Amino acid sequence: MTAIDISDPRGLIVCPHCDALWTARKPAFGEVAACGRCHVVLATPRRRAGMQIISMAVASLILFVGATFFPFLTIEVSGLSNAASVLDVALAFSEGLLGVLVIVTAALILVVPALRTALLLYVLLPLVFDHPPARHAKRAFRLAEQLKPWSMAEIFALGCAVALIKVADLAQVMFGPAFWMFALLVILVLLQQRYLCSWSVWDALNTPTQ
């Protein structure tokens, strides 16, 4: 075991999975820095990752709007059909305790992921185009990182699948455009998380540009 020099915290990296402390050397593009104990990936800078993340973020923001307002499902029971968007459902249950639950759910599946995407765009856009970081960029990126566990779009997709299997016996269910937008959104959000190397972003935010 080697002694770790903690006089310069910028040269250190903590594994978010097992809390092991390592001295960090900036990985080259395409290299992967992994935790020596639990092998979780700590940093993996990719060339042009910024531009890819930005295009995915813009696409997700458009899809968020569509997924909220377009019809999500059409349910047909004995000739009567009813189409509802996520917004319709949220507004239909807007009273009482159930209303609170619906608002919290809508926040976790749509507002938090959309806010996180907007924060990432705010932080990454200047960096990718070689401008100095935006005002409060560090605070914005820290907030985006803190929101990560609360961004639950994929859990909603899973919940929908379970609910649909149950309803399918009682009524004919048809997916609206918002459903497909949402499915695409879940994939985009996951890809975005995979491409984003937090360590590289912090490194760029801490390196003064001239």
Which positions lie near Zn ion, rule CB under 5 A?
Answer: 15, 17-18, 20, 35, 37-38, 40
Nearest distance in Å: CB 43, Zn ion: 13
Residue 37 or 135: the one with the smaller Cβ distance to Zn ion is 37
Nearest distance in Å: CB 41, Zn ion: 10
The number of beta carbons lying within 10 Å of the beta carbon of residue 167 is 14
Spell out the long-range contacts of 10-13 with Cβ–Cβ below 8 A and sequence spacing 24 or more. 10/206, 13/42, 13/43, 13/199
Nearest distance in Å: CB 35, Zn ion: 3
Residue 14 or 89: the one with the smaller Cβ distance to Zn ion is 14
Tokens of 88: 């319709």
Residue 136 or 148: the one with the smaller Cβ distance to Zn ion is 148
Given a contact cutoff of 8 angstroms between Cβ atoms, the answer to whether 189 and 154 are in contact is: yes
**Dist. CA 114–CA 183, nearest whole Å:** 15
Nearest distance in Å: CB 37, Zn ion: 5
**Dist. CA 200–CA 89, nearest whole Å:** 40
Residue 43 or 189: the one with the smaller Cβ distance to Zn ion is 43
